[in-house]
């Protein structure tokens, strides 16, 4: 049985619809694309979007002081926080907060108290606020660090918009989802030089022109709700980011390349020599599954099963029961 799945580029996602929907008219396609780009711009330029990132500081074992003092292990932007706000104590993979009294620090909008902090590996991390700044713990492999956001970041103040290739509906294709039973472990390299192991629930196969291709997603976390695809094509390192392009279920990610962002790199098998310009960035959400994290293009193989998915309609505005394929 096939179900409808929008493919917004080279990325494919599952859907719960049981019948194929007609392809959108060109004017609808363009309006959907423009609406999604406007929404993305709003998210990027918010005071807590990716452009607000001003720091990523890896913690050492033991106490790590943080504050406006530039000698701190976690220095905060000048003039944005007291010289000493507190310390992050790393103890064999656990991070404990030790605040300085009178610093004005809060944790999840409550006055800060000494205690453990959740990282982004645990789902939503604990969010610390001091003045206009936000801080939280991230974990990448065995490393733990502090990410800092500032609504007055230089990247945000100098941002002049995002350049896109003109979107084209030709990359909306029909795709089949071939599940793995059981899901397999795959190694995902990062630009930090580390490797993370994630689950690949299956692969999607499809055709663009006369080329048979496939993408293999992985689940970023055990409770992930979206598929995340990472791939390279002929534009990588020339017109687009060298480490690869990526999409999550239904949309392109908001992340832009800044020194405080740690995106994964493309795996060897997820590459395509063709230059995929004009991949739509919008798409419907999926309530089907989890986040996946590695995709690309390969010679296709594998017999479609009853769990195959069909990619064909777009639209960020459509119901959450739809998923999307994007490249």
* pLDDT tens string 212-246: 999 888 888 777 777 788 888 888 888 888 888 88
78 — pLDDT class (breaks 50, 70, 90): very high
Does residue 173 share a domain with residue 151? no
Cα(283)–Cα(172) distance, integer angstroms: 10
Does residue 254 share a domain with residue 319? yes
> Is the model more confident about 277 or about 248?
248
Evaluate if residue 208 carries a pLDDT over 50: yes
Cα(154)–Cα(249) distance, integer angstroms: 30
- The mean of the pLDDT values for the chain is 74
Q: What is the pLDDT of residue 258?
A: 53
Does residue 319 share a domain with residue 226? yes
Does residue 179 share a domain with residue 97? no
Distances (CA, A) of 55 to 241, 311, 323: 21, 39, 33
Evaluate if residue 71 carries a pLDDT over 50: yes
Number of domains forming the structure of the chain: 2
Taking residues 295-307, report their average pLDDT.
30
Taking residues 96-110, report their average pLDDT.
97
Does residue 114 share a domain with residue 76? yes
Does residue 285 share a domain with residue 208? yes
Evaluate if residue 12 carries a pLDDT over 80: no
222's tokens: 């055990």
The last residue of a domain, from among 136, 157, 178 = 157
Taking residues 63-77, report their average pLDDT.
98
Does residue 309 share a domain with residue 213? yes
Does residue 188 share a domain with residue 150? no
Q: What is the pLDDT of residue 276?
A: 55
Q: What is the pLDDT of residue 310?
A: 30
Structure letter (DSSP) for residue 121: G
Give the three-state DSSP class for 40: helix
56 — pLDDT class (breaks 50, 70, 90): very high
> What is the extent of the structural domain holding 230?
1-45+165-327
* CATH for 148: 2.60.200.20
Task: For 50, list phi and psi in degrees, rounded to 5.
Answer: -60, -30
Task: Count CB atoms within 10 A of the CB of residue 115.
Answer: 11
Does residue 37 share a domain with residue 119? no
* Region of poorest pLDDT, from 89-103, 276-290, 310-324: 310-324
The last residue of a domain, from among 105, 128, 157 = 157
Evaluate if residue 157 carries a pLDDT over 70: yes
Burial per residue of 233-250, b for 16 or more beta-carbon CB atoms within 10 angstroms, e otherwise: bebbeeebbebbbbbbbb
The last residue of a domain, from among 127, 157, 187 = 157
254's tokens: 């908001």
Distances (CA, A) of 3 to 10, 17, 288: 18, 5, 11
Does residue 262 share a domain with residue 171? yes
Q: What is the pLDDT of residue 88?
A: 98
> Is the model more confident about 155 or about 226?
155
Q: What is the pLDDT of residue 272?
A: 55
Does residue 177 share a domain with residue 309? yes
Q: What is the pLDDT of residue 312?
A: 28
Burial of 156 from C-beta contacts in 10 A (0-12 / 13-18 / 19+): buried
Q: What is the pLDDT of residue 166?
A: 86
Does residue 132 share a domain with residue 175? no
């Amino acid at each position: 049985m096939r179900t409808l799945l929008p493919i917004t580029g080279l990325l494919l996602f599952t859907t719960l619809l049981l019948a194929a929907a007609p392809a959108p008219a060109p004017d609808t396609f363009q309006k959907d694309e423009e609406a999604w780009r406007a929404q993305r711009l709003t998210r990027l330029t918010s005071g807590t979007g990716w452009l607000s990132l001003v720091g990523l500081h890896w913690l050492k074992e033991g106490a790590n002081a943080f504050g406006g003092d530039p000698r701190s292990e976690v220095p905060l932007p000048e003039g944005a926080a007291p010289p000493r706000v507190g310390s992050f104590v790393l103890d064999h993979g656990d991070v404990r907060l030790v605040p300085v009294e009178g610093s004005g620090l809060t944790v999840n909008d409550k006055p800060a108290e000494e205690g453990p902090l959740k990282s982004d590996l645990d789902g939503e991390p604990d969010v610390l606020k001091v003045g206009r700044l936000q801080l939280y713990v991230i974990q990448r492999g065995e490393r733990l660090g502090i990410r800092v956001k500032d609504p007055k970041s230089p990247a945000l103040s100098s941002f002049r918009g995002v350049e896109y290739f003109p979107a084209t509906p030709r990359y909306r294709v029909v795709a089949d989802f071939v599940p793995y039973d059981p899901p397999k472990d795959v190694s995902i390299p990062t630009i930090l030089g580390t490797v993370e192991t994630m689950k690949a629930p299956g692969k999607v196969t499809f055709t663009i022109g006369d080329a048979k291709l496939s993408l293999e997603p992985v689940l970023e976390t055990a409770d992930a709700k979206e598929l995340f695809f990472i791939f390279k094509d002929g534009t990588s390192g020339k017109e687009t980011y060298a480490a690869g392009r990526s999409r999550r279920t239904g949309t392109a990610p908001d992340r832009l390349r800044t020194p405080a962002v740690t995106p994964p790199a493309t795996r060897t098998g997820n590459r395509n020599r063709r230059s995929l310009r004009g991949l739509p960035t919008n798409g419907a959400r999926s309530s089907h599954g989890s986040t996946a994290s590695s995709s690309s293009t390969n010679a296709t193989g594998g017999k479609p099963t009853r769990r195959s998915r069909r990619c064909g309609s777009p639209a960020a505005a459509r119901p959450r029961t739809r998923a999307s394929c994007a490249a």
